[in-house]
Amino acid sequence: MKPRILLVNPPIYDFAAFDFWLKPYGMLSIAGKLRGRADFALFDYLDRMAPFSAGQKPLASDRWGRGRFYFEKIQHPESLASIPRYFRRFGLSRSMFTDFLNKEKPFDFAFIQTTMTYWYPGIREVIEDIRRLQPKAKIILGGNYVTLCSSHAKELGADLLVIGTNLEPLWQYLKITPDLIQPALWEIYDKIKVGVLKLGDGCPFNCTYCSVPKVYGKFRPRPLECSLAEFELLRRLGVENVAFYDDALLFEPDMVLIPFLEAIIKRQSKINLHSPNALNARFVTSELAELMVRAGFKTFYLGFESASSQWQKRTGSKVFSEELAHAVEKLIAAGASPENITAYQILGHPSIDIQELETSMRFVHSLGIRGMLADFSPIPGTPDGEYCRKWVNLDEPLTHNKTAFPIVMLGFDESNRLKDLQRQLNRSL
């Protein structure tokens, strides 16, 4: 008999959360490799296509498939009590999950997706419910929180933690031989409009605020035929928007992105493509920009962080100001709409003294594109994160919260002033 595996994407406990093409891609990828070798059921608290109550319409989405989640206001956890913003629980209700667990036959295993380190309260809630109502299920956690905060995650009482990207311990625990070339298990959704792809792992840079170099190491492309097969699956399922979760989507484009885009252009795909996880402006050439637009890229998010050359050099030199300006010119010349090009800039980074954030925001504005302040989250194990132990206790992952940390660093008023300024600049484009 095939084992029965429950897949859970937990609710989010945070000040803010928005469905910016969020999918539990790590967990779905693992489940895909077990396709046909196990029976699956999914409970995705963050599936906005799932009705919150019988007969209710799904939540509205914007033209690119993004939108808000259901939420309820809740009490602040103690370590975030001083942050003057509402604290909330986002996603489907707890009773929907408990009803679901009661109805289902026993599961052998339960996989739980972990994402931001500071979202662990949602995982704790899911574990409690599974233990109570499906006591036979062996609980397996994997993903970013488990990888970056392993000791903390051990305390939640799961049966197995899959730390980092080595999946051997998982296959041994399940006693199943995986089929590694299978795409993610997207067909588990009854209805799906947004999908995710990742064409490669790792990144060639070493930014001091980022965990990717340590966790993933050198850049490695994924096999092109697997990415294309996954794209086809998403197309068959009626997906309209695909977001890339790559950390270095534009790196070594001759081997990775260019052949992928050429292949989907040949297939006359109508799917809109998006890059929420920041493109590196340095690698945007005229040819690449033109190909991306032709293949269906609609939104372009560029990682910029600061226009201060001192700050850029101190944090790893991933991109310089003139490179951003050139990339924007090329994207616009290729047909991208300026209102769909956004440059991210870090808010609340500990080297704020040299970041010249306001000047940077005005520089981005002068290019005729939108700016977005990306609140800084201090990540344990990274140089900049470790430096923040001066201000917060990093061993409590709630203190990594991206809304909270800039307020701790800059104060509530200054943080709001900069956010208001960003809104004003964007409005005046």
What count of other Cβ atoms lies within 10 Å of the Cβ of residue 77? Answer: 15
Binding ligand SF4 by CB under 6 A: which of 109, 205, 231, 405? 205
Instruction: Identify residues 251-290 at the interface with ligand SF4 (CB under 6 A).
Output: 280
115, interface contact from ligand B12, ligand SF4, none, CB < 5-8 Å by kind: ligand B12
The interface region with ligand SF4, picked from 66-74, 136-144, 199-207, 361-369 by CB under 6 A, is 199-207
Q: Is the dihedral of CA 39, 26, 22, 282 positive or negative?
A: negative
Furthest-apart CA atoms within the chain: distance in Å: 63
From the list 119-127, 130-138, 168-176, 203-211, the region that binds ligand SF4 by CB under 6 A is: 203-211
Q: Does 210 bind ligand SF4 (CB under 6 A)?
A: yes
When the beta carbons of 318 and 402 are compared against ligand B12, the nearer one is: 402
Q: Is the Cβ of residue 114 or residue 312 nearer to ligand SF4 in the bound state?
A: 312
Residues 284-303, one symbol each (x = binds ligand SF4 by CB under 6 A, - = not), give: -------------------x
Helices (H) then strands (E): counts for the chain: 17, 18
Do 117 and 379 contact (CB within 8 A), yes or no? yes
3-state secondary structure of 161: strand
- Give the number of other CB atoms < 10 A from CB of residue 171: 15
247 lines the binding site for ligand SF4 (CB under 6 A):
yes
* Residue 71, contacted partner among ligand SF4, ligand B12, none, CB below 5-8 A by kind: none
Residue 242 binds to ligand SF4 (criterion: CB under 6 A): no
DSSP-assigned letters across all residues of 281-323: GGG--HHHHHHHHHHTEEEEEEE---S-HHHHHHTT----HHH
Q: Which does 213 bind (CB under 5 to 8 A by kind): ligand B12, ligand SF4, none?
A: ligand SF4
Give burial (CB, 10 Å; 0-12/13-18/19+) of 414: middle
- Quote the radius of gyration of the chain (alpha carbons, Å): 21
Length of the chain: 429
Query: Taking CB within 5 to 8 Å according to partner kind, which of ligand SF4, ligand B12, none is near residue 370?
Result: none
**List of residues contacting ligand B12 (CB under 6 A):** 17, 20, 22-23, 25-27, 29-30, 111-113, 115-118, 140, 142-144, 147, 162, 165, 167, 170, 198, 201, 210-212, 216, 245, 247, 276-277, 374-375, 377, 379, 400, 402
Q: 205 touches which of ligand SF4, ligand B12, none (CB within 5 to 8 A by kind)?
A: ligand SF4
The angle, 0 to 180 degrees and rounded to 10, between the axes of the packed helices 224-236 and 257-266 is 40
